[in-house]
Structure 1
């Protein structure tokens, strides 16, 4: 089916009868998402878009308020309220709301006193008293009951986020749980109770510490300060200030909730498998009595003055240096954003943009990109660039500005704008398959005050844009009134250490269950019957006329295709292929330049990629099926006729080495490399790269010839698309040239997880206010299918999410971390071993608290039959509503093949779930995890850590970044 992307601007209003009531809704002719928009009597907006691919529904509940609406005296409030929305209501999260209420009121008043104290000793005493009252209140608190509710209905993706203009709450639920979901959310949004305050505040501090090491947040803050100096976009941040986080006001939070969390300031966005008539009736049933506010108008701030000259500023941090350039645009609902969105892709689309060809492909800089951020009051258009070796940030900025000047003069291909439009159509086609994409579209329209007619009509509008219009706009918009943020590399001396507060852990009360939770658990819903992939029916194993094996599945939904040439060897067998695929991006052929190649693929609305994974190489081509043949012809030309030259290769090596060095400046990346080093040793996918010496001594044409000769090696064709088997076979036979006999693929040394026969502590250095830590255990245990169901429920019960033991104990009860989890891993390939690890990111002076309590819950696993039953029901409902479709069917087949199965083992796992007991979980944990030797992997600053306590656990092995990175 070919998608027709013609969007009309005709708005129609329809009526439908649902449960004896007419619900009026709006639709837009030509809307490919077929979204219905309802407005209930109390002003609540409801966006509904049906997608029947699988029996699940993505939900967003979006509140039109964010950090822009924070009181100036308590910034970070919107974000903190987002956290507190998970603590329950009078109906859940408590075992006695009447007895609890006066204690919560006392805590509220004590915080009002505490936040105004300045004397350190008085503050310590006041906090101690808050902690004492919190202990009394905690006897009535049932932590994580919201997450138990979501687990009970089989929800996934339970989360929330806060930004400048929005606070949004997300769930992915089974399609038969709409009423239970609505009942829970309606109670939550109308009757939120603030409890567990001081331990959750510690979790927010930990999140703040994570932000301290992310220089991107410093850049955004500086950009806002310069472009919107008298607007909250520039005067306050979403996470808030350290001072305000340490001096919170529950009174302000309650006032904020009462003002903004009202139905006429909220939208429910849903996409998935449901009956919209029945669904809106259910939503009205539970949300219809929610009282609207008389005034939900957004605050008005002084208009931001346009800059008449460029303004520069510098921020400092440990991450790699880069430069940002920003212009202030009109609000998101202004049609100016249409044009800015097209210009963003004209400049950098990853293939044939002005920056892609003029700066990136030609290696004039390391990286140059453009982007835009549409917001409720203003939009931001920005450029970001990273320097190549020996280049200054000013040079990078000037080169990007020069490319903007070329665009203003019309010095770009006439094909660029039509190509941008075609690729936008491709994006829409792909997006329609994705429920999350649909609800994000709905949320953005609601938050930014954009009519649905305008939202879905954007593609039609931009399709009419001309080159002259774009150049005229560029000359008006890209003035000298821009801001430059130089992000220099260095130590940020403004970071302040936050001392660990004296918190008495609150009880987890995991055996307590409110009546509300019991009612949800006992509610009767029509069960969803599981459907597991049947490889004999759902895919076809065939071959081309030249006997090339093919795994085939036909796409009967749209005009998109994915074609993969798959080779069963990878980085562990030959690490040169990773370098070859990267270098290929910078070269042309004997007839086409690198720019020509990128432009032609972009014009065809097709993409290609080559990935050298640990144990496989995939050459992937995807896009519009009508252009598959010319795209495949072009790909074959690129692979067989790529032409190296010494100059480009030397530049490529310089960029590669700088990129490697930049990785060592990023905290998350350093920990990722430490983790792989700790699990796999020195021979791992992160570290096993060609050395600088090898790179410089290698003939670049030999690297490209590796890709040229791929077609001579044993491989398979994977295909999901509209073509028939015969048509595919004919095209592959004609365009993909292979010899009569294929050669065997290379075989090297597999990446193998190391065993941990004794306790060890491995630490690598990074100067930050927090540590990243994992405790890793592996005794070489082989995969046992009969235990898979037990492991699946164990992961859910113990460490899988906010309802898990680890999250409850480490974050909810003790406020030790923002991020804490644990997981028992099944192997990905036959012959590999299972292993287990814990994970936490925590403040430096909380390290030993984390280590000690991890051991407590590892050696003596907390047991709760009630929590176990919720975890078990969650897994059953999640698996029952899973569906393996489209190209994922082929991927699943390959996954099972690697494990040595010719069927989907999920079917057996699902059957076995019903027989798993809490005793099975405890027995498994005690046998495989408790009191085992662990390899502790820590990334942090020794000067800030209690090293003596660590040394009492096991010998400390100090690693350098050079060791874990391999360079």
Structure 2
């Protein structure tokens, strides 16, 4: 199925409107800005005198702001001899500079200069023995330099504001730095970021380089990335899109240049090449004044002229094979002109006609008819070129070429006009609907505005995109497809097999860096002393915030008014799932392929798409959701169609046969997917033992014995069980209830739920190691240990423990495992709480690392789980972060109901955050230490290890506990 996110890429908007781009100047502000009349994101665009672009988007839903600092600097600008540079620079901008995280800059900068010179010597050296000697010197001088550093100080300061989602990403043409901050902390955020980006300091360089090595290894373990990079190489043999990757080559990562990184920063991190994008609860005039105050003094520079390499026309099919352990897939792509061309508009339309998740040609002809296991298309728009990308997973007995030909056949349908006349208009309407949903999110607002800046698109053009797309008719699409699609494509075959191109990175000897947790730079001391503007938390009152009524005996009705737009949701929730009835889950999977006595399955999908309504049924282990959503004006028609499908599904033996065959193929494919093995099969095996929810499925024989009528009978029963109804939308309850009484017919006596199969959680009476062999570069370890039964009194302490100890960039685990010892790219630990009061809390820890580091990394995290370092300052920071997040988070809209519902499942009848907030306020380090000693320290674990058997040190695993090497059949049950 296609993710709704794809409809974001074109920044397509909401309602028909007159579009006017104008410059404005308010009566109370000296600042000129651009805005677009009736812009649904209420965006103002400013440009400071130094060239810095500022996008401000107003959304008052909660007192928080999504902040993106965007730089037109990505991998396409990397020097060819030092690829991966832009990405590595992104990592280093979390390390501080002469002010942030520095205890004695004058002494440190001398040592950093020596380290930089040593790296240049390393690059010039060709002999391994000489390189090793230079690296030993780098390690030695780095140790000395580290004495003058406060690791993770930026992360501590940004967390102290109550920031969430602190991160950054680099791609072809952009590097973007992300935070979600409380709106009352805007000025402190600007003070911090203006200093952060004012200069570059490459400190703790060699340990961070190891983290990037590990990220490189993770990319080598990703079959998707292999296939994607191979496609780019075929499409762009000359342009940097295809000649270099964002992560860089292994050889370049081994021989970095601090000099080149500084040159890159000095060239591209200048105000006339950057943008500040803020979306959320802002005051336009106050905000732009602050931005000018803190960023207006940055000096602009002349930017180098980038001339994109010209690609030759693709005149014949280009193909490539890649190998890896995952299931086979095929991808193909056609190359077009870039974001400023009409090609970009046509690609969005063609992509929408092909694959919109409901009524596209791929959706109907391939997915609904079950001609392949999976398939989708995606229009990918870049500055210099664009491409239309296709991917398909073959079904049982189908070759990759056969799957590829089915994808190409959908293009032929467009050429021949073999699609409905109404489809292009419906695609544009669906874009509008998707954008209406996206506009509620600050994150997506910031993404859209970032896209506009990076691609140098006028906001007026973006806002009117839907109007332009609506002018593209069926005949236009046919003509474009006939002229532009032929044998001018690239195809990549991802086959299951051994990858012989893996690049091995040796483990260097790194002396752990001291973590100076209690130290603070002068800048941080000043930052902490600045006056705070705290907000009061707002907690829910479920009796006031949720309308409650009885629809019928045994069917409660809940609703919340949508005050934002004209979208609705109607959801039926059943307290039963696969653990109650396995065949019900199969029936739900069967439903999308069925029609009624009036409509075929294809006709139903098209009708829903025309109405702007989504429908679906989802069954989990213990819950089933029946949902309908879309435009309020279409609710009654959509509900009528949906209820008719639930009451009158017509059995289809052919569809059932394909479904069963595809399910068996999916099961086989899942045994080839690392994440599915480790986080699905192995995790449940470690938590429950041999008899677990993951393995609780219908056997092959049971699947083959199922009859179509058995499943349609199950579907008819869905709304005959006890259930609740939740409505979120703009309509009044009286009107909604009237529609439901007319359309949602239920028996006078509802059926009780079948008995649930309960899976007892295992007590960790001893340390056990479970190992599964998998062809991969890294090795991954997941540790789990059952704690006590659900207890609300543990929630405040668990919250602070997770913030302080195991989650986030300034946590103890991250500092020790990644920052100090460079043992892993990803490492964390946390104390989890269950979704049901009948279940238990768990301690979980994770490490993903190079195989030859596994022993050290495991020893390090076990040591932390038995002896928690105590740092009073860091504890206070964790408390402050947790409190500010509660103070500034607002649970709104439909989330109010789901908070109530999920609390109720835990036996809680009020907004538990009020208790958590009160308890955190009173908490002392001694309370956290007591929690740690009682719930974390000295526990036995199940160690779940997945990696390459030939490279894993089993002797080190035996030191952890009794080792059980499990086959895939044992963990999957088939």
Give the equivalent residue in structure 1 for 2:782.
Answer: 774
Q: Distance in 1 between matches of 2:895 and 2:224?
A: 34
Secondary structure at the counterpart of residue 953 of structure 1: coil
Does the 8 Å CA contact 2:84/2:248 hold for their aligned counterparts?
A: yes
Q: Distance in 1 between matches of 2:802 and 2:371?
A: 48
The secondary structure found in structure 1 opposite 2:365 is helix
Show structure 1 runs of 5+ residues with no match: none
| TM superposition shift of 1:7 | 3.9
Partners of 1:8 and 1:28 within 8 A in 2: no
1:716 aligns with 2:724: yes
Contact 2:576 2:624 in 1 (8 A): yes
8 A Cα contact 1:408 1:472, kept in partner: yes
- Alignment partner, residue 69 of structure 1: 77
- Distance in 1 between the 2:484 and 2:716 partners? 45
Contact 1:351 1:598 in 2 (8 A): yes
Corresponding residue of 1:237: 245
Alpha-carbon distance between aligned partners in 1 of 2:580 and 2:440, rounded to the nearest angstrom: 36
What is the TM-score with the length of structure 2 in the denominator? 0.97
- SS of the equivalent of 1:773 reads strand
SS of the residue corresponding to residue 544 of structure 1 reads: strand
Return the alpha-carbon distance in structure 2 between the equivalents of residues 533 and 207 of structure 1: 41
Tell me how far apart the structure 2 counterparts of residues 531 and 753 of structure 1 sit (CA, whole Å).
36
Please tell me whether the aligned partners of residues 147 and 803 of structure 1 are also in contact (alpha carbons under 8 angstroms). Answer: yes
Preserved contact between residue 772 and residue 840 of structure 1 (Cα < 8 Å)? yes
Assess if the C-alpha contact under 8 Å between 1:372 and 1:381 holds in 2.
Answer: yes
- Asked if structure 1 preserves the Cα contact closer than 8 Å seen for 2:14 and 2:433, the reply is no
* 1:279 pairs with one of 287, 293, 296: 287
Q: Does 1:813 align with 2:823?
A: no
Equivalent position of 2:18 in the other structure? 8
Classify the secondary structure of the residue corresponding to 2:884. helix
Match of 1:669 in 2: 676
Q: Residues 632-671 of structure 1: matches in 2 within 5 Å? A: 632-671=639-678
In the other structure, the counterpart of 1:345 is 352
Whole-angstrom CA distance in 1 between matches of 2:412 and 2:76:
34
Task: Give me the whole-angstrom Cα distance separating, in 2, the residues matched to 1:746 and 1:776.
Answer: 31
Does the residue aligned with 1:524 lie in a helix, a strand or coil?
Answer: coil
* Partner residue of 2:471 out of 443, 446, 464: 464
The aligned residue for residue 729 of structure 1 is: 737
Contact 1:546 1:733 in 2 (8 A): no
Bigger Cα displacement from structure 2, 470-479 vs 425-434: 470-479
Contact 2:200 2:262 in 1 (8 A): no
- The Cα of 1:22 is off from its aligned counterpart by 1.3
Give per-residue Cα distances to partners, 1:384-410, cap 9 Å, x unaligned: 111111111111111211121111111
After superposition, the C-alpha distances for 1:674-715 in whole angstroms (9 at most, x for unaligned) are: 122212334444332211111001112212221211111111
Mark the CA change 1:889 to 1:751 in structure 2 (over 3 Å): closer, same or farther.
farther
Residue aligning to 1:897: 904
In the alignment, the residues of structure 2 paired with residue 424 and residue 547 of structure 1 have an alpha-carbon distance, to the nearest angstrom, of 39
Map residues 920-939 of structure 1 onto 2, 5 A cutoff.
920-939=927-946
Is contact 2:49-2:296 (8 Å) kept?
A: yes
- Work out whether residues 8 and 29 of structure 1, in 8 Å CA contact, stay in contact via their aligned partners in 2: yes
Of 315-324 and 877-886, the range deviating more from structure 2:
315-324
Question: What is the correspondence of 1:117-156 to structure 2 with a 5 Å cutoff?
Answer: 117-156=125-164
CA deviations 1:919-957 (Å, max 9, x no partner) are: 211221122111111111111122211111211221101
Tell me how many residue pairs correspond in the alignment.
961
Deviation of the 1:4 alpha carbon: 6.4
SS of residue paired to 1:943: coil
Pick one of 193, 200, 218 that aligns with 2:201. Answer: 193
Match in the other structure for 1:513 = 520
The change in CA–CA distance for 1:746 and 1:276 in structure 2 (over 3 A counts) is same
8 Å Cα contact 1:326-1:380 kept in structure 2: yes
**Shift in Å, 1:359:** 1.4
Would you say the 8 A contact 1:761–1:957 is kept in 2?
A: yes
Partner of 1:617: 624
**Is the Cα–Cα contact under 8 Å of residues 837 and 907 in structure 2 kept in the other structure?**
yes
Q: Shift of residue 553 of structure 1?
A: 1.1
Alignment partners' CA distance in 1, 2:375 and 2:776: 28
- Three-state SS of the structure 2 residue aligned to 1:822 is strand
C-alpha distance in 2, partners of 1:567/1:721?
21
Give the conservation status (yes or no) of the 8 Å contact 2:546–2:896: yes
Q: Does the CA contact (< 8 Å) of 1:27 and 1:37 recur in 2?
A: yes
* 1:645-673 deviation per Cα after TM superposition (whole angstroms, max 9, x unaligned): 22221111111111111122122222112
Which of 238, 254, 270 lines up with 2:278 in the alignment? 270
* More displaced stretch, 225-234 vs 49-58: 225-234
Q: Is the 8 A contact 1:572 1:751 kept in 2?
A: no
Q: 2:389 aligns with which of 372, 375, 382?
A: 382
User: Is 1:630–2:651 an aligned residue pair?
Assistant: no
Q: Of 425, 432, 445, which aligns to 1:418?
A: 425
> What is residue 439 of structure 1 aligned with on the other side?
446
TM-score by length of 1: 0.98
Q: Distance in 2 between matches of 1:833 and 1:382?
A: 44
Contact in 1 for aligned 2:513/2:821 (Cα 8 Å): yes
Shift of 1:752: 4.3
SS in structure 1 opposite 2:959? helix
**1:6–1:566 distance in 2 versus 1, CA, 3 Å:** same
Q: Unpaired segments of 5 or more residues in structure 2?
A: 1-12
Structure 1, residues 371-390: CA drift from partner, whole Å, max 9, x if none?
11111111111111111111
Q: Say which SS state the counterpart of residue 332 (structure 2) adopts.
A: strand
Select which of 204, 213, 221 maps to 2:212. Answer: 204
- The residue that corresponds to 1:80 in the other structure is 88
Q: What are the equivalent positions in structure 2 for 1:361-400 lying under 5 Å apart?
A: 361-400=368-407
Q: Are the aligned partners of 2:554 and 2:722 in contact in 1 as well (CA < 8 Å)?
A: no
Aligned-partner Cα distance in 2 for 1:682–1:632 = 42
CA distance in 1, matches of 2:793, 2:407: 58
Structure-2 residue corresponding to 1:581: 588
CA distance in 1, matches of 2:27, 2:107: 45
Q: Which moved more, 1:680-689 or 1:625-634?
A: 680-689
1:102 aligns with 2:110: yes
Structure 1 residue 27: deviation in Å?
0.3
Q: Distance in 2 between matches of 1:457 and 1:681?
A: 57
Name the residue aligned to 1:111. Answer: 119
In the TM superposition, residue 226 of structure 1 has moved relative to its aligned partner by 1.5
Query: Secondary structure in 1 aligned to 2:910?
Result: coil
Q: Which moved more, 1:427-436 or 1:460-469?
A: 460-469
Contact 2:323 2:497 in 1 (8 A): yes
Shift of 1:546: 6.4
1:249 and 2:251 matched: no
Contact 2:580–2:753 (8 Å) recurs in 1: no
Q: Is the 8 A contact 1:564 1:717 kept in 2?
A: yes
Tell me, in whole angstroms, the C-alpha distance in 1 between the residues paired with 2:958 and 2:337: 58
Which residue of structure 2 lines up, in the alignment, with residue 528 of structure 1? 535
Choose the corresponding residue for 1:966, options 945, 952, 973: 973
- Computed over aligned residues only, the root mean square deviation of the Cα atoms, in angstroms, reads 1.4
- Would you say the 8 A contact 2:337–2:343 is kept in 1? yes
Does residue 822 (structure 1) correspond to residue 829 (structure 2)? The answer is yes
- C-alpha displacement of 1:751: 4.2
In structure 1, distance between residues paired with 2:18 and 2:313 = 35
The DSSP-based 3-state class of the residue aligned with 2:683 is helix
CA distance in 1, matches of 2:582, 2:820: 46
Partners of 1:733 and 1:843 lie apart in 2 by 60
Q: Is the 8 A contact 1:82 1:167 kept in 2?
A: yes
2:413 to 376, 381, 406: 406
Shift of 1:785: 2.3
CA drift of 1:17 comes to 6.4
Q: Distance in 2 between matches of 1:917 and 1:17?
A: 51
Q: Cα deviation per residue 1:437-486 (whole Å; 9 max; x = unaligned)?
A: 11111011110111111111111111222111111111122122111111
Whether the 8 Å contact between 1:586 and 1:594 is mirrored in structure 2 is yes
SS at match of 1:115: helix
Cα distance in 1 for partners of 2:620, 2:403 equals: 32
